Amino acid sequence: AQKVTQAQTEISVVEKEDVTLDCVYETRDTTYYLFWYKQPPSGELVFLIRRNSFDEQNEISGRYSWNFQKSTSSFNFTITASQVVDSAVYFCALSVLSNTGKLIFGQGTTLQVKP
Amino acid sequence: EAGVTQFPSHSVIEKGQTVTLRCDPISGHDNLYWYRRVMGKEIKFLLHFVKESKQDESGMPNNRFLAERTGGTYSTLKVQPAELEDSGVYFCASSLSRTEAFFGQGTRLTVV
């Protein structure tokens, strides 16, 4: 069985602070994909990143960075110098190829960035 | 290129009524998924189409839910009769491969 846990339900920071959103996953499959999605107040789910299980390289995209560690089954997401526009619900998700490609989501972390 | 489109964006219905949600995937995407987020909980998988065939419907909560995908294009999700616990946001996603899905804006369903 697969599972994704986002232990942080809500996080509140002040603009320009760095913030890390945690994601821990469980799967017995050796081939899998990890995702982060952002859900702004407008409601749609916006794709941020996909990593496959064979690529543990960390990734940086502007103010966003992701730390994938198979040893701890974690795929954490860091926003550097947060901005008010970063306020949203962030979902971590897992997909295993043996399972039709469906996504298993975590509970989501609501990030509030105050000015 | 148009993204995944869902109709309606909001729906408020009374318990016992029928509601049909529609999803138009990205053109050419064979894979179409339905998900649901209830009461601020995690987003849960409902079912997966490959073209017009149901590949996996293990997440459908009960037989009050019926999904179809006519001709492998758009999909509908009908809830009949709706119950209070069906309230939530219903998301549709489509993908070319099974490794990256693009989501619609969701339909917020409220059953009163």
Nearest CB partner across the interface for B95, out of A46, A101, A107? A101
**Residue-level pLDDT at A56:** 83
Selected for mutation to probe chain B from A3, A42, A45, A99 (highest B CB count within 10 Å) is A45
**Residue-level pLDDT at A10:** 96
Token pair in block for residue A27: 């799967």
Give every residue of chain A whose pLDDT is below 70, as ranges.
98-99
CB contact under 8 A, B97 and A43: no
3-state secondary structure of A72: helix
Q: Determine the residue of chain B that is closest to A107 in CA distance.
A: B42
Which CA distances in Å does A110 have to A12, A27, A48, A79? Answer: 8, 25, 16, 13
List the one residue out of A6, A19, A40, A32 whose CA is nearest residue A109. A6
* CB–CB contacts below 8 A, A to B: 68
Tens digits of residue pLDDT in B75-100 = 999 999 999 999 999 999 999 876 67
CB contact under 8 A, B44 and A105: yes
Residues of A in contact with B89 (CB under 8 A): 43
CA distance A8 to chain B (A): 13
CB contact under 8 A, A45 and B98: no
**Residue-level pLDDT at A99:** 67
From first to last of its 112 residues, chain B has per-residue pLDDT tens of 679 999 999 999 999 999 999 999 999 999 999 999 997 788 999 999 999 999 999 999 999 999 999 888 999 999 999 999 999 999 999 998 766 789 999 999 999 9
3-state secondary structure of B70: helix
Phi (first) and psi of residue B91, to 5 degrees: -110, 145
Token pair in block for residue B9: 């964006």
| b/e map A45-56, b = 16+ CB within 10 Å | beebbbbebeee
CA distance A107 to chain B (A): 4
Cα torsion for A79, A82, A84, A88, to the nearest 10°?
Answer: 20
**Residue-level pLDDT at B1:** 62
